[in-house]
Amino acid sequence: MREKDLKYYISCFNNLRRASRNGERAPHKVVVLLTVINEVERGNISSNFISLSSQFEEAFYESWHKYVGVSANYHDVLEPGFFNLKNEPFWFLLPWVRGEELKHCADLKSLKRIYEGAIIDEELFTLLTISDIRNQLKESLISTISKASDDVLDFDGFLLNFIAPATTIVKDYNYYKHQFEVIANTDKGSKHTVGKLVMLLSTIEYIQWRSQSYETSTYIPLLAVWEGIYLSNIGTYLDIKRNSTAFASPFLLMNNESFWNNVNAEGYVRTENAHNYMTFVHLQDSYDGVEIESDLIQLILDVPSSGKLKRHLERLLLPYKKKKHRRINT
């Protein structure tokens, strides 16, 4: 068995399993570990138990803004890193009730409901109590924080921005109304186009449902309720024989839209063939959820605006509505 020394943990830290988006690797795990190191240094963590306390939350946000700052691809949320570190050999989640586990973590509230905190290797905690070694581990983590490739502006890009003033795009109701119309007119009438329009309609309803109980951000978790809403809506327009593919196909296709970004799960294996997802759970194994532009989220949370968006989608879908679902005026 390999000795769990400084060299071992530096290797672990340099090889954390992390998703990547636009050239930027997800920093959540790194920031959680940096928070642990800082809290040990401050004397707030005195054993190998890491509590999901409000103090640790605050320390995490402080670390995020210190080491990551503002990211174009990721948000400063604690739960992805804290939960997914369970896939690393030195981190073990500690549930309140033995044997109770989460397969996927939707939000911090769910994480705290199931888990008291986490346990790290005794060997790792011992190393963190030694100042010089602690600093080496911290530096190894900081060196793994990457910036998005599109955040780096080359010289030609600089000149272009300098010569041509940027045009501000107002992303309001009319902007997204146009985006939805572009989707409707691309491969017009195909089941893929209908599926994407129904996915948008169902996503609005899903976000509104979640907002009644949870604080809503741009990250929308991939939960079974979403699939249920979609399957309820799609039956109005198409005859569906295979439910898992019915949701998976438009979910994957929506990733081509500028306002929609699917969030890969840990250990994600790329596939764009919806038929590879035999069940919704298989889809959840590859994706944690989706990031949606904040401007669109704000419109969805605004009741009058969301009503207008839904009515517009329903108008775009009207030609495909099955006869038994049409309203007959007498």
Give pLDDT tens digits for 146-171. 644 434 344 444 444 444 444 556 78
Query: What percent of the chain has pLDDT above 70?
Result: 85
Give pLDDT tens digits for 23-57. 788 899 999 999 999 999 999 999 999 999 999 99
pLDDT-derived band at 311 (thresholds 50, 70, 90) equals: very high
Spatial CA neighbour of 170 closest among 162, 161, 178: 178
Distance of alpha carbon 213 from alpha carbon 32, whole angstroms? 26
Give pLDDT tens digits for 109-143. 889 999 999 999 999 999 999 999 999 999 999 99
pLDDT the model gives residue 244: 57
Q: Is the pLDDT of residue 321 over 90?
A: no
Joined tokens for residue 28: 């959540």
pLDDT-derived band at 242 (thresholds 50, 70, 90) equals: low
pLDDT the model gives residue 268: 62
pLDDT the model gives residue 188: 82
Q: Is the pLDDT of residue 69 over 70?
A: yes
Query: What percent of the chain has pLDDT above 90?
Result: 56
79 and 105 Cβ atoms separated by less than 8 Å: yes
**Residue-averaged pLDDT of the chain:** 85
Contacts of 73 (CB under 8 A, 6+ apart): 21, 22, 24, 148
Distance of alpha carbon 56 from alpha carbon 32, whole angstroms? 9
Distance of alpha carbon 301 from alpha carbon 130, whole angstroms? 49
pLDDT the model gives residue 158: 44
pLDDT-derived band at 63 (thresholds 50, 70, 90) equals: very high
Distance of alpha carbon 166 from alpha carbon 156, whole angstroms? 15
Over range 199-206, report the average pLDDT.
96
Q: N- to C-terminal Cα distance for the chain?
A: 80
Crossing angle for the helix pair 28-42 and 54-67, to the nearest 10 degrees: 120
Q: What share of the chain is helix, strand, coil (3-state, %, to 5)?
A: 55, 10, 35
